[in-house]
Structure 1
Amino acid sequence: MKGHIRERSPGRWAIILDSPDQETGKRRRKWHSFAGTKREAQKECARLITEMQGGDYVEPGKETLAKFLERWLDHMRSQVSPRSHERYTELARKNIAPLLGNVALTKLRPEQISAAYSKALVSGRRDGSGGLSPRTVHHMHRILRQALSQAVKWRILGRNPADAVGGPKVEKTKMRALDAHETAQLLAHFRPTRMFTPVLLGALCGLRRGEVTALRWRAVDFAAGQLAIVESTEQTHRGTRAKETKSGRSRRVALPSIVVDELRRQRVRQAEELLKLGVRLSDDDHVFAQADGMPVQPNSLTHEFTRILAQSSTLPRIRFHDLRHSHATQLLSSGIHPKIAQERLGHSSIGITLDLYSHVMPGMQEDAAAKVDAAMRAAIDRVAG
């Protein structure tokens, strides 16, 4: 197997590869176009020969990255949730394709991808108002890398060019956790509103937004003082759909007595509202619902929480999800074992809990060291005595 280069015009080269046909034994010639210096063309020729000898060679095709992404999106429709597929589609069509879509898939190079990311950070907004955030470009990189990995599996590419590119550094979003006093103030502010129950469930039970909007009365066990978290809701362009929890597993959450009391009051209020409409409340109804009993969309919950919170001049401006962080922080700060916190929050592993809330651990480490020290000193004194 051999190859050579031929100059077509200044800076333009033809790379000619000769290899025997496996069936007939006759010589087959493959042509590649290359732009660059003579030395670069020679390196590319050597690289292609190595690929052919190693069995990694892929015939050059004319399919562009944009067309391939559409095929990949069709493939991914059955692999991810509808909301995730919508996000993949948005990133692929609106962010990646305008920058790299016209490049032939088999000719896509790491330096082109890197340059596209740099451009996106500076002027990637579609309205021309500036660049995209590092987090958005990081998501672009993750999607492109996943798509090109599939191209390798389909043997369209010999290797994934995105593997040689790093996404931009993304700073972690700082979580704002309320302490017990701030939580009490927040509950007092929301008590006169319909949003009181979601805020209660988020701040005192650590429920996610989708878990709150999916919760039905049949999941509330007043006798045992527990909630059964078995599903969540997801909002897409086509509407709201029920889905499994984020971890893929159901869980039971023990309720503080204050939450049990407030849920009893909520059930009575909701039953009275529906009775005025001639409807009887059932265990299939949602705990947090509109006045006519219809479920609330997750995005509507977020918007209403933000609107009502803005009416306070003293409470910090937090996200609804920060109520969950507040609950976790208060649990760990109170000395609750991280494993219990993990089960209560519904994390798939204790590693996630420890990673998210490591900032709470230093005080717990000091407390543990002090307890070990006290126990050992007492034991040493007994032995010495």
Structure 2
Amino acid sequence: MGEKRRGRGEGSIFKREDGTWCASMTLGVRDGQRRRTYVYGKTRKEVVEKLQALQRDQAAGATFTKLTVKAFLDQWLEQTVKRMNRVRTYDKYAADSANHIIPAIGHHQLAKLTPDHVQAMLNQLEDAKLSHRSIRNVRAVLRAALNRALRFGYVTRNVATLVDVPGEVTFQPEPIDEDPAKHLIAATKGHRFEVLFRFALGLGLRKGEILGLRWEDVDFATATMKITGSLQRQRGKLERSATKTDASVRTIALPPTLLAMLHTHREQQEERRAVADRWTDTGLVFTSSVGTAIEPSDLSRAFKQVLKRAGLPERLRFHDLRHACATMLIVMGVHPRVVMEILGHSQIGTTMNIYAHVLPRVQRDAVTGLDTLFADDTPDDDDAEPSTGDAEGEPDADPE
């Protein structure tokens, strides 16, 4: 038998016949059975350190279990994500879990998952030529799952927050400033989506938000509009669902030009409805020629046509109209928190990080304004008035 030694507060520590050291700790009693866990090491000191780490975790409320990463992800997706998120979000999280996370680290015990395991997974995804954006999304899914595990006491830290995404680059939106924006507006004249494009550029709405906008969300009397939902294709069906986040639900003031355009657009829609052979009443502000919802892909194709007419790069996306709106608001000096509320960002940090590329220009305008404010307006000597000394021509007295 191996030699057994016990130190105060160290549980059971003993040296095994093969020369390695082992320690055990009681976790409690479940179903009438005493539960213990074991740690191993080459030296007694190593085992003591591992045991003390377990004791600290236990004191912090950790729930020791042999639950695997796969088992927890399955449980989290069904019990949390499916119940609290949109179908599209659930499908995306489930796909990232099944295709990337579970094959790489699903077999590990959740409580024993380390930053090295996660970093190796992300590196493998990069080696497999997965895009950096997709790798970030995979890390985000795992981070969200481990946050839940942390709250439930399955783990004592979120290891997904401790790793780096390989080759991570900061997103920079495609720049559309004042001149390209004017060319774009001119190119939309007479287009069937003219008003839609103007709303996207003038209010920074997401594609799903603008396609899901309903007449009941518009208040002509107060010149405001509520963003309450988003039109998305989910599992092959075009549906209006909740907004991206709670912060995306917002009320936006309508400027006079857009309000007038919306009045005219409603009248024209009513005229088309009156003469149409068939019309589906969806209550949507922007519809097809027969009243049905506009397919997001159709809108993207129409946007490419407008870009070509405006002489702008066809690599621009419809979403870049949202970025253009925010960029111009920031350059105009609008407070970032107001920009955040218009865009429906949940955190001001999101707004500032995405649009950091325009801050140098804003900073230059700001210091130039200060320079103008505190400019020395003392006239040059050649233009100065003569001294007002006494009759003998003596200078004025010292101001002291």
With structure 1 as the length reference, what TM-score do the two structures score? 0.77
| C-alpha displacement of 1:371 | 3.5
Question: Partners in 2 of 1:18 and 1:281 — Cα distance?
Answer: 68
Q: Which structure 1 residue ranges, 5 or more long, are not aligned?
A: 124-130
Question: Partners in 1 of 2:317 and 2:210 — Cα distance?
Answer: 15
RMSD: 3.8
Please give the secondary structure, in 2, of the residue aligned with 1:78: helix
In the alignment of these two chains, the number of paired residues is 363
The reply on whether 1:104 has 2:71 as its aligned counterpart is: no
Question: Partners in 1 of 2:158 and 2:244 — Cα distance?
Answer: 33
Counterparts of 1:236-385 in structure 2 under 5 Å? 236-237=234-235, 239=237, 240-244=239-243, 246=245, 247-257=247-257, 259-277=258-276, 285-297=283-295, 299-300=296-297, 302-305=299-302, 307-309=304-306, 311-312=308-309, 314-317=311-314, 318-348=316-346, 351-377=349-375
Residues 101 and 14 (structure 1), Cα distance of their counterparts in 2 relative to 1, 3 Å cut: farther
Question: Partners in 2 of 1:273 and 1:19 — Cα distance?
Answer: 76
1:207-260 deviation line (CA, Å, top 9, x unaligned): 221221121233344565543434333442263233246414421222242x34
The answer as to whether partners of 2:188 and 2:197 remain within 8 angstroms in 1 is yes
Residues 6 and 169 (structure 1), Cα distance of their counterparts in 2 relative to 1, 3 Å cut: farther
Residue identity (%): 26
Residues 166 and 320 (structure 1), Cα distance of their counterparts in 2 relative to 1, 3 Å cut: same
Counterparts of 1:145-184 in structure 2 under 5 Å? 145-184=143-182
| C-alpha displacement of 1:274 | 1.9
Quick one: which of 3, 7, 10 aligns to 2:13? 3
| C-alpha displacement of 1:199 | 1.3
Question: Partners in 2 of 1:31 and 1:352 — Cα distance?
Answer: 43
Q: In the alignment, what sits opposite 1:126? A: none
The answer as to whether partners of 1:2 and 1:19 remain within 8 angstroms in 2 is no
Question: Partners in 1 of 2:27 and 2:339 — Cα distance?
Answer: 64
| C-alpha displacement of 1:275 | 1.9
Please give the secondary structure, in 1, of the residue aligned with 2:200: helix
Question: Partners in 2 of 1:254 and 1:21 — Cα distance?
Answer: 62
Please give the secondary structure, in 2, of the residue aligned with 1:285: coil
| C-alpha displacement of 1:54 | 6.0
Query: What amino acid is aligned across from residue 269 of structure 1 in structure 2?
Result: Q
Larger Rg: 2
Q: In the alignment, what sits opposite 1:52? A: 55
The answer as to whether partners of 1:225 and 1:254 remain within 8 angstroms in 2 is yes
The answer as to whether partners of 2:212 and 2:240 remain within 8 angstroms in 1 is no
The reply on whether 1:68 has 2:72 as its aligned counterpart is: yes
Please give the secondary structure, in 2, of the residue aligned with 1:252: strand
Q: Which structure 2 residue ranges, 5 or more long, are not aligned?
A: 1-10, 386-400
Residues 73 and 199 (structure 1), Cα distance of their counterparts in 2 relative to 1, 3 Å cut: same
Question: Partners in 2 of 1:90 and 1:45 — Cα distance?
Answer: 41
Counterparts of 1:13-28 in structure 2 under 5 Å? 15-17=22-24, 19=26
The answer as to whether partners of 1:15 and 1:31 remain within 8 angstroms in 2 is no
